[in-house]
Amino acid sequence: MNLLRRTVTRRQGLSLSIAAAGLMLAGCSSENDALADQANAGDNKGYIAGDGSVTEWKKEEREAPVEFTGDLFDGGTLSASDLRGKPAMLNFWYAGCAPCRAEAPHLIELHDKFGKDIAFWGVNVRDEAGTAEAFERNFKIPYKSMKDASGKVLLALSKTVPAQAVPTTLLLDKEGRVAARVLGEIDSSIMKTMMQDLLGE
């Protein structure tokens, strides 16, 4: 049984460092040298999993509402302005990313609990439609994803979402401001608490 330790510090927000004893997050690629070469070359096709670190921003510390427009795999579009009025979750993922697969069941459970009050959206940073849709069918993902292999949404959110940290999950408040961020695979209990706190604002 893993023991989670949360260390709280303050620096432009509330940072929650999560350490799980005996747990190591695998990167989305098994070729560490290749990833390093890609990163040095500025190749945004090489993705590295985050360490699970969590940052929360208090209401008075949040920056302006995010702005983006993304194309959905089903042919529609989603803009940041469409999310105004209630909190939202954005999960950046792709099918070949091991931490993305590991966290998928937890995201589904969170959607089952909070989906009526929080808008859930995925942002697929790499896949063609067939690959992404197969992933969504296999895991029975109940919410839609934007396709972002071109990096348009990532670029719009580059102040908050590192280009090579996948998965990354953002929580937006009802005004569209970033309230919390997880770099790497989510911890479902911590995400549940953050969602409850966001709904209580």
What span, in angstroms and rounded, lies between the C-alpha atoms of 54 and 190?
9
The mean per-residue pLDDT over the stretch 91-100 comes to: 95
pLDDT at 34: 33
Q: Judge if the upstream peptide bond of residue 167 is cis by omega within 30 degrees of 0.
A: yes
What span, in angstroms and rounded, lies between the C-alpha atoms of 113 and 120?
11
Distances (CA, A) of 110 to 20, 149, 182, 184: 21, 26, 15, 17
Supply the range of the domain harboring residue 122. 4-199
Number of domain units in the chain: 1
pLDDT at 74: 87
pLDDT at residue 72 above 80? yes
Q: Is 54 helix (H, G, I), strand (E, B) or coil?
A: strand
Q: Is 49 helix (H, G, I), strand (E, B) or coil?
A: coil
> What CATH number has the domain bearing residue 68?
3.40.30.10
